[in-house]
Amino acid sequence: MILSIPLAWLQLKRERVRLLVALAGISFAVILMFMQLGFRDALFDSAVRFHQSLEGDIFLINPKSTALIAMARFPEERLYQARGFDGVETGSPIYLDFGLWRNPEQKERKTRGILVIGFDPSQQIFNYAQLTKNPKNPSPTEIEQVRQGFDRINLQDVVLFDRDSRAEFGRIACAYELYAKGQGEPITSENLLKTCKVKEEAELIRLKTEFFGSGPLQPLMTEVSDRRITVGGLITLGASFGADGNMITSDLNFLRIFSSRPKGSIDVGLIKVQPGKTGSEVLSQMRPPTEAIEKSPLRPLKQMIARFGGPPVPEPKVCFAGASPEDKQNWPRCLCPLVSTAATNNLSPLPKDVCVLSKAEFVAFEQYYWQTSTTIGFIFAFGTVMGFVVGTIIVYQILYTDVTDHLAEYATLKAMGYKNSYLLSVVFQEALILAILGFIPGVTASIFLYNTINSATNLPVAMTPGRALLVFSLAIVMCCISGTIAVRKVQSADPAEIF
């Protein structure tokens, strides 16, 4: 009969104020874990949006490069050499640098750093769908608008602006869509209201007058590093911890903005393989196994790919031909040296000033930097642990107090013949009930906070089923640990001492 009585729930709800305090504490711990994990994942996701939007199979970088925000340059000649390998279809140079963007809405000449991306528009290296306003479910119209924008950057000093850049760059997306709608582009009033973050169309008219005056609409112009540029379209990459905003333009426009930079010096080489070939086949030519090394420089990379997804990386046995101890020490910076005897192609080995990466490795290369070379990843992981510890302490205090208050009842049950195992199960049931009831308001509040943070910062912070399941599991474990500590009081309950 006793088994049919929800003893754990009855004990918890008997003290309603204590129950509410316990749930508030658990919800706080859940929110703290969600926030830390959300920020950490946003760090990794925002850092590789650019990488994932690229349509390439193999990527060349300088071994001294550490991340997208700290790329070392290498000669474009290496890209020409790589084109000579069997199976390579095209090779495209990518230029990266930070320019100073002037907010056109501000009269004073204040500037803010923006990541400028340059490439040859005659070669499609971007996945247009990934650069639309809704990359997860883009419409044909949105894809076509992005494609037309890439056509425009062939014109002198025309750039594409990232609509998800931080607000400090100005209301560029709103101004451009108002201009584009006036030029006949298929932009609905509903989308305009969302972009401009207003509620009524009358406010759109006010904004149009504010941006363009009462005369005819003019293309949106501003300055980047003292170079006059025109915004010719919008793309979506999003702000990250490394760059507050992004813009894409042609290689020629890029070199006009950064006029002191030599044309033959590039930051990334993007290679597409021929139809019928795979990236791994071409990679095997560029970096064939030569001799085993004591510590694989790809080991951290393999772990990162396993963590973030991507095809498996074969156990590498690569090294520089005649590598010096200094070369070996520098391997982890590159993660994967590009070396080749290229006997089948009759090519000379590529020099040591370039690395070759698959796309999964290129993505993991960036994530590896933010995970290991900055304190940000550690801080968020530490915050998650602190949330777990705080929740454990709160639940323990609640359960311990509850057990102490009902010690006489537990002793009575013992005197009636109930074993410690039953009494322990009651305490664990209380812990599980607290975990479940505390998780519900915690996840609800976290979703609201995610949306608020996303709107304020444009960071890709969103609730995912995997993260929700992880935090729920942590909440269960947290409460079970607390229950395990608290049940020691139940085990010590002696009917003879109580009565």
Q: Would you tell me how many other CB atoms lie within 10 Å of the CB of residue 467?
A: 19
CA dihedral for 387, 393, 394, 395, sign (positive or negative): positive
Q: Please report which confidence band the pLDDT of residue 321 belongs to, taking 50, 70 and 90 as the band edges.
A: very low
Per the model's pLDDT, the better-predicted residue between 95 and 212 turns out to be 95
Determine, yes or no, domain membership for 70. no
Q: Which of residues 242, 270, 298 is at a domain's end?
A: 270
For residue 464, pLDDT over 80 is answered with: yes
Q: DSSP character for 73?
A: P
Co-location of 40 and 104 in the same domain? no
pLDDT in tens, 97-142: 999 999 988 877 788 999 999 999 999 999 999 999 888 888 999 9
Q: How are beta strands 74-75 and 355-358 bridged, if at all?
A: unpaired
The pair of three-digit structure tokens given for residue 147, joined into one six-digit string = 């494609």
Determine, yes or no, domain membership for 155. yes
Residues 426 and 483: their CA atoms lie apart, in Å, by 10
| Per-residue pLDDT at 59 | 93
Co-location of 225 and 162 in the same domain? yes
Q: Please state the rounded mean pLDDT for residues 225-252.
A: 93
Determine, yes or no, domain membership for 328. no
Co-location of 126 and 263 in the same domain? yes
Determine, yes or no, domain membership for 353. no
Q: DSSP character for 93?
A: E
| Per-residue pLDDT at 496 | 56
Half-sphere exposure of 283 (CA within 13 A, CB side): 21
Nearest to 328 by CA among 362, 294, 303: 294
Half-sphere exposure of 422 (CA within 13 A, CB side): 16
For residue 294, pLDDT over 70 is answered with: no
List of E strands, 330-467: 355-358
Give CA angle at 302 (300, 305), nearest 5°: 110
Q: Which of residues 210, 239, 270 is at a domain's end?
A: 270
Co-location of 101 and 243 in the same domain? yes
| Per-residue pLDDT at 271 | 94
Name the average pLDDT for the chain.
81
Rounded to the nearest 5°, which phi and psi values hold at 49?
Answer: -60, -45
Per the model's pLDDT, the better-predicted residue between 200 and 323 turns out to be 200
Co-location of 108 and 165 in the same domain? yes
Determine, yes or no, domain membership for 380. yes
Region of residue 184 (left: phi > 0; alpha: psi -120 to 50; beta: else):
left
For residue 87, pLDDT over 80 is answered with: yes
pLDDT in tens, 349-402: 455 678 888 898 899 888 888 877 777 778 888 888 888 888 888 888 887 887
Q: Please state the rounded mean pLDDT for residues 50-68.
A: 91
Determine, yes or no, domain membership for 260. yes
- Give the total number of structural domains in the chain: 2
For residue 292, pLDDT over 90 is answered with: no
Determine, yes or no, domain membership for 281. no
| Per-residue pLDDT at 71 | 92
- Name the pTM for this structure: 0.75
Q: Which of residues 224, 249, 270 is at a domain's end?
A: 270
Co-location of 237 and 381 in the same domain? no
| Per-residue pLDDT at 154 | 95
Co-location of 171 and 226 in the same domain? yes
| Per-residue pLDDT at 115 | 96
Domain housing 188: 88-270
Co-location of 135 and 211 in the same domain? yes
In contact, 357 and 365? CB cutoff 8 Å: yes
For residue 335, pLDDT over 80 is answered with: no
In contact, 2 and 418? CB cutoff 8 Å: yes
The pair of three-digit structure tokens given for residue 334, joined into one six-digit string = 């590159």
Q: Please report which confidence band the pLDDT of residue 174 belongs to, taking 50, 70 and 90 as the band edges.
A: very high
